[in-house]
Structure 1
Amino acid sequence: MSFLYEEKASRSALVDVVWRTVDTSDGTYLAAADACWDMIFSDLAAGGRRVLLSGPSSQPTPVPYTAGNRNIGVRFVQGCYFTHCAAADMCDRTIALRMPQATAFDLADVRWPFPDYETVDDLVEAFAAHGLLAHDQIVESILVGRPPGVSVRSVQRHFAKVTGLSPHHVRQISRARAAVNRLQTGEAIADVAYDLGYADQSHLTREVKRLTGCTPGQSQHRGEPV
């Protein structure tokens, strides 16, 4: 791993994790599919700053990094979404937001302050107070296995609105990420396949490779976060 990585829990229920990195060399990180919205705030080694907004990803995505860059990231929970744009238009897409000055960026026709690791939660709270972030209870219910109380067609509409993906695809992504997290702790591939409901070890191998870019064996020794 050619970057230093640190993460912390957020005080916001809309956030899965807040992380920061210092890139120690040039390289490319293969980000697994996550079906989540993400934001990345970078201080660039070449000078200047950058803010990226990423929609839900359905497949592994190569992410280049450059020595000297310092990055802060926010991965929002599945079920959380930005209200100013359609998820279908942002699925597997990352855009650079306009920065009229070094200390601010524009999003949804509003100017926001560029955060640091300590204040990024304040920014998330400001997004939510402005109505820019929302959370879909139907999506959350499906992902945690609770009966949603609505029709299958309604569930599909909710997932399309939040992620741009089908419920089945999001569940596949969640299971593959859970598999990798367990493999990285040293659990046996066969045990993980059984516990997570894969048909067999070959099924797990195909799905993990397709959705994370790495085989289960590679995942066991991968030092990078998923």
Structure 2
Amino acid sequence: MGLEIESRASGSPFVARVWRSRSARDDRMTSVANASWDLVFWERHGRVRAAVHGPESVVSPAPVPTDATFFGINFALGTSMPHLAADRLVDGHVEIPGVTRRSFWLKGSAWHLPGYEDAEAFVERLVREEILVRDPVVAAVARGEPAGLSERTVQRRFVAVTGLTQGAARQIARARRAAVLLREGVPAGEVVHRLGYFDQPHLARSLSRYIGRTAGELGAGEPPEPLSLLYKTGDGPDVSLLGTSTRKAVHHA
């Protein structure tokens, strides 16, 4: 493949995953659905750019340009930038102005470009400046904990913070987890049982909508056109569950 991807977990409650990648040639990948959002920086032919990429509600193709490097922070469900309307970010992006090799412009101030190793320190600064906030109710729901509020209130806050309904986020997370299990060799029937699908046709529809692969294709190994990064985070109920990749940044490189 023309894209090499590296990622790591984070100890920050605001961050789900930190990742970076490099492309060696023109290629294409399948960008799977993802309930969380990313802050992405990329460089190609000497030009540095940055954007906030929102959640992806369905699977979609993504071209991979040659000779580009990417770095991104995938944020935990419940984390948001209040000055950016969440519902307008779903299946979209907002490009950040004033980006150079050393700095970029965000909410009226210049910021030094973060890196793969110091992403958490950068996030802490965003939190201190109240550019980045975390909704405790949405974060609790994402962990499968009771919110102590009415279902209607929880749903309203969930949509306001994430741009997605709670049900949509859960469906995306379940499909991503199903894809990981199938790639590990777990039979489709067992995946149906573990994750609460009605039957194998229900699983197949979910995979088609959110992953872009059949159960057989996932079980057979890496296809000719690779998927964006999937990783296992455990067996808990976290609706964010599985992480990110270069995603739509490749469209604008």
Q: What's the TM-score, normalizing by structure 1?
A: 0.92
Q: List per-residue Cα deviations over 1:48-74 (Å, max 9, x = no partner).
A: 111121112211233322121111121
Deviation at 1:140, TM superposition (A): 2.7
Letter aligned with residue 27 of structure 2: G
Equivalent residue, structure 1, for 2:100: 101
The alignment status of 1:142 with 2:131, answered yes or no, reads: no
Equivalent residue, structure 2, for 1:70: 69
Question: Quick check: 2:7–2:19 contact (8 Å CA) kept in 1?
Answer: yes
Question: Quick check: 2:42–2:49 contact (8 Å CA) kept in 1?
Answer: yes
* Separation in structure 1 between the aligned mates of residue 114 and residue 146 of structure 2, nearest angstrom: 38
* Separation in structure 2 between the aligned mates of residue 94 and residue 182 of structure 1, nearest angstrom: 30
Gaps of 5+ in 2: 231-253
* Separation in structure 2 between the aligned mates of residue 97 and residue 113 of structure 1, nearest angstrom: 13
Equivalent residue, structure 1, for 2:202: 203
Equivalent residue, structure 2, for 1:34: 34
Give 1:1-12 correspondences, 5 Å limit.
1-12=1-12
Give 1:86-165 correspondences, 5 Å limit.
86-165=85-164
* Separation in structure 2 between the aligned mates of residue 133 and residue 62 of structure 1, nearest angstrom: 30
Q: Which has the higher contact order (CA 8 A, sep 6+)?
A: 2
Deviation at 1:152, TM superposition (A): 1.6
Deviation at 1:77, TM superposition (A): 1.1
Deviates more, 1:162-171 or 1:100-109: 100-109
Q: List per-residue Cα deviations over 1:92-145 (Å, max 9, x = no partner).
A: 111221125331111222211112222222211111111111222222332333
The alignment's C-alpha RMSD in Å is 1.6
Question: Quick check: 2:23–2:65 contact (8 Å CA) kept in 1?
Answer: yes
Letter aligned with residue 203 of structure 1: H
| Count of residue pairs the alignment pairs up | 225
Question: Quick check: 2:49–2:100 contact (8 Å CA) kept in 1?
Answer: no
The alignment status of 1:21 with 2:50, answered yes or no, reads: no
* Separation in structure 1 between the aligned mates of residue 141 and residue 120 of structure 2, nearest angstrom: 27
Task: Please give the secondary structure, in 1, of the residue aligned with 2:207.
Answer: helix
* Separation in structure 1 between the aligned mates of residue 107 and residue 60 of structure 2, nearest angstrom: 25
* Percent identical: 33
* Separation in structure 1 between the aligned mates of residue 57 and residue 212 of structure 2, nearest angstrom: 12
Stretches (4+) displaced over 4 A: none
Question: Quick check: 2:25–2:65 contact (8 Å CA) kept in 1?
Answer: yes
Q: List per-residue Cα deviations over 1:153-205 (Å, max 9, x = no partner).
A: 10111111111111111111111111112122221111111100000111111
* Separation in structure 1 between the aligned mates of residue 139 and residue 177 of structure 2, nearest angstrom: 16
Deviation at 1:151, TM superposition (A): 1.0
Question: Quick check: 1:37–1:55 contact (8 Å CA) kept in 2?
Answer: yes
